[in-house]
A and B are shown apart, each in its own frame.
Chain A
Amino acid sequence: MSAGILTAPAPVPRYRQPTRRWTEAGLLVAAYAVGAAAYIQVDLAMLGKLATDTVPVLSVIAALLLLVHGAIRLLARWADPILVPAVATLNILGLAMIHRLDLAEIQRANRNGGVAPPPDVYSQLTWTALGIVLFIVVLVAVRDHRTLQRYTYTAMFLGLVLLLLPLAPIVGATVNGATLWVRFGGLSFQPGELAKILLTIFFAGYLTVTRDSLALVRTRVLGVGLPRGRDLGPLFVAWFVSLGVLVFERDLGTSLLFFGLFVALLYVATQRRSWLVLGAVLFITGAVLAYLSFGHVRLRVDVWLHPFADEADTSYQIAQSLYGFASGGMFGSGLGQGYPQLVPYAKSDFIVSAFGEELGLIGLMAMLVLYGVIVERGLRTAIACRDVFGTLLAAGLSISLGLQVFVVVGGVSRLIPLTGLTTPFLAQGGSSLVANWIAIGLLMRISDSARRPDAEAVALEDAPTQVVSL
């Protein structure tokens, strides 16, 4: 036998692979049906009829979904069919809940004879539209995700600037004790949300280059293979920066997300568990230090441990949130039939407890499964991706989404101390919504190139092997 004649050239398409765009269309219709049902149910329960603006709002949402689907067909037709419908479902549910809380404010104002604040659902809808437009811009501007690797250090620089921008004298602003806002004119923005994506690009680019030395060079200490001292540098830098965020911006959530993401990506890039151990040790050290030296951290921990000790004051939010979950129970009170407006910041930080109250454990679990599906599709994209940079970027984007959901839901349900992160796609807040749509745009771009059958087999030997348990 002459060797080689039977070698199938790698790029040959082995079977006609469907693009799954019609699957996506079907799922989008289902997502829209669920979202519209939620919106209409809110109106029926609270007003007994449709609100005057419900039909226009629902039409705008339908138009936006058509737009995003059309754009995917044109720009990323091989991309994953599940990501966008799952994201759209959560986004519309968030709009419905904000609309529901708007109505509660109007009703209270009518009862008390006051003036109702302007509804927030319009601005959230505008941000959704902007997010979708930027999603499309990402698909247009980034034709190949590998070009982003060229901007590794640019992304680091911009990311750090954005992360520190709230500390700048004129534009920075402190809201509720956390310095994470930038204001110019009437517009305010949380630059940390965009910094998250830029830093993920930086981590992915940096680890693509250095992962071999980080993975292979070990010194043995007490029989355990540990990285060399000089390879520990980046880990310590990440640790110091996230501690800095915690100290100067008093933002527990971003600090945690930032460090957790870096450690997770180190693990993905090197497949060495020792990084996780080192990361955990550093994290615990930092947490203990922060607890001992900062009043606001100690307050968070105390409120977490004893939510009903100072219910009227410091732990009011978390106690109300827990009452909300409790009154929701298994099946929930039904949309528009509970009292989620009693929790402060129910539209933003505590939107999860509003859902927990009105949809119950069963409804909230469905939403968490949707988040799980989004993360799974992201990690699946990472595995299928043919180049290391794309793998790390996709893994980083999905891990940061998953971490964020864990930190928020864990915080409002008192599994972990409360931190100030936003619930992706649900919570009121333009910066987070726009940034997360951009992240999904990047994932769709990577997924498009990973699933495209006739793509040239780029650096196939660099792709990681998926671990299967049998």
Chain B
Amino acid sequence: MSELVLTLLRLGFLALLWALVLVTVVVLRRDLRAPRDARPLVVAAAPRAGSRPAKAPRSRSDKPAKPSRSGPRSFVVVEGPLAGTVIPLGTADITLGRAPDSTLVLDDDYASNKHSKVTLINGTWVVSDLGSTNGTWVDRSRIGGPTPLAVGQQLKVGRTVLELRR
């Protein structure tokens, strides 16, 4: 074996070894995200007659055609494994977390069992954290106490993002 061939083999092997490591890391990264063919599951459609069939609303421009007269009517999951889920709003509290008795049961390693609660107070929906590990976030800042939630503001719990919709 000539010196040159051996040197090429030597460096080639190192490249091959790192190629394997990088492929492994790519697979690993992909594993952290939800699969691309994830199909959202609609739990309950917005209870308005004539509204189009609910599908995964991806952006804020994807609002229902007819705006309603008063406050928000539904709570929509816009990101995360449950994306597309629509929760019609009434007057009852909404609890978020992994506990099976939550209103929205999150199957999310980053969410706590009893993560946060959204309550209707004087016509405003107010979100409060229930001592979660990773906190409750409104528009990218972690809330310290009960925080009023306006339409279009993004509420983040674990890897799930929710929005109030009219």
Q: Name A residues whose Cβ lies closer than 8 Å to a Cβ of B.
A: 1-10, 12, 14-18, 20, 23, 27, 30-31, 33-34, 37-38, 41, 44-45, 48, 81-82, 85-86, 89, 331-335, 337, 359-360, 362-363, 366-367, 369-370, 373, 376-377, 383-384, 457, 460-461, 463, 465-468, 470
* Closest residue on chain B to residue A86 by CB atoms: B24
A38 to chain B: which residues have CB within 8 Å?
13
Verify B109–A1 contact, CB threshold 8 A. Answer: no
The docked-state distance in angstroms from the alpha carbon of A366 to that of B24 is 11
Tell me if A461 and B91 are in contact (CB < 8 A). Answer: no
A466 to B31, CA, bound (A): 16
Residues of B within 8 A of A363 (CB): 13-14, 17
Query: Given the interface contacts A1-B91, A16-B39, A17-B35, does A27 sit within 8 Å of B10 by beta carbon?
Result: no
B17 touches A34 (CB 8 A): yes
List residues of chain A with CB within 8 A of the CB of B39: 15-16
Within the assembled complex, what's the spacing in Å between the Cα atoms of A360 and B11? Answer: 11
* Chain A residue at smallest Cβ distance from B99: A461
Can you sample 6 A-B contacts with CB below 8 Å? A2-B90, A16-B39, A82-B28, A332-B14, A465-B98, A470-B137
- In the complex, are the beta carbons of B16 and A37 less than 8 A apart? yes
Q: How far is the CA of A428 from the CA of B114 in the complex (A)?
A: 50
Q: Whole-angstrom distance between the alpha carbons of A335 and B6 in the complex?
A: 9
Query: Assuming A457-B100, A461-B100, A463-B98, is B27 touching A37 (CB within 8 A)?
Result: no
Considering only residues 75-123 of chain B, those with a C-beta below 8 Å from chain A are: 81-82, 85-93, 98-100, 102-105, 107, 109-113
B1-23, CB under 8 A of A: which get 1 and which 0?
10001110111111011111101
The contact of B107 among A10, A27, A466, by CB within 8 Å, is A10
CA distance A210 to B77 in the complex (A): 38
Q: Is B143 an interface residue (CB 8 A)?
A: no
The reply to whether B103 and A44 form a contact with Cβ atoms under 8 Å apart is: no
Q: How large is the interface on B (under 10, 10 to 19, 20 to 34, 35 or more residues)?
A: 35 or more
Q: Are A6 and B103 also in contact (CB < 8 A) when A31-B20, A332-B10 are?
A: yes
Q: Which residues of B contact A370 (CB under 8 A)?
A: 21, 24
Does any Cβ of A come within 8 Å of B43's Cβ?
Answer: yes
Q: Are B10 and A8 in contact (CB under 8 A)?
A: no
Q: Which residues of A contact B158 (CB under 8 A)?
A: 468
| Cβ–Cβ < 8 Å partners of A89 in chain B | 20
How far in angstroms is the closest Cβ of chain A from B80? Answer: 10
Report chain A residues within 8 Å CB of B89.
Answer: 1
Whether A8 contacts B109 in the complex (CB less than 8 A), given A3-B103, A15-B34, A461-B99, comes out as no
Task: Determine if A465 and B24 form an interchain contact, defined as CB atoms under 8 angstroms apart.
Answer: no
Does any Cβ of A come within 8 Å of B49's Cβ? no
CB-based contact A8/B105 at 8 Å: yes
Which one of B5, B18, B86 lies within 8 Å of A362 (CB-CB)? B18
Interface residues of B in 24-39 (CB under 8 A from A): 24-25, 27-28, 31, 34-35, 37-39
B101-151 residues at the A interface, CB under 8 angstroms: 102-105, 107, 109-113, 132-134, 137, 142
| Contact present for B44 and A6 (CB under 8 Å) | yes
- B28:A15 contact, CB within 8 angstroms: no
Known: A10-B107, A332-B10, A332-B14. A3 touches B20 (CB 8 A): no
Contact A7 B103 (CB under 8 A): yes
A27 touches B23 (CB 8 A): yes
> Closest 7 interchain pairs by CB?
A1-B90, A334-B10, A15-B38, A465-B133, A466-B109, A366-B17, A6-B44
Distance A87 CA – B21 CA, assembled complex (angstroms):
12
A14 with B82: in contact, given A6-B87, A466-B109 (CB under 8 Å)?
Answer: yes
Q: Which residues of A contact B6 (CB under 8 A)?
A: 44-45, 334, 337
Q: Give the distance in Å from the alpha carbon of A135 to the alpha carbon of B114 in the complex.
A: 39
B104 touches A6 (CB 8 A): yes
Closest-by-CB residue of A relative to B87 is: A6
Alpha-carbon separation in the docked complex, A465 to B97 (Å): 11
A69 to chain B, nearest CB (A): 15
B16 CB contacts on chain A under 8 angstroms: 33-34, 37
B7 touches A334 (CB 8 A): yes
**The residue from B28, B44, B102 contacting A5, defined by CB atoms under 8 A apart:** B44
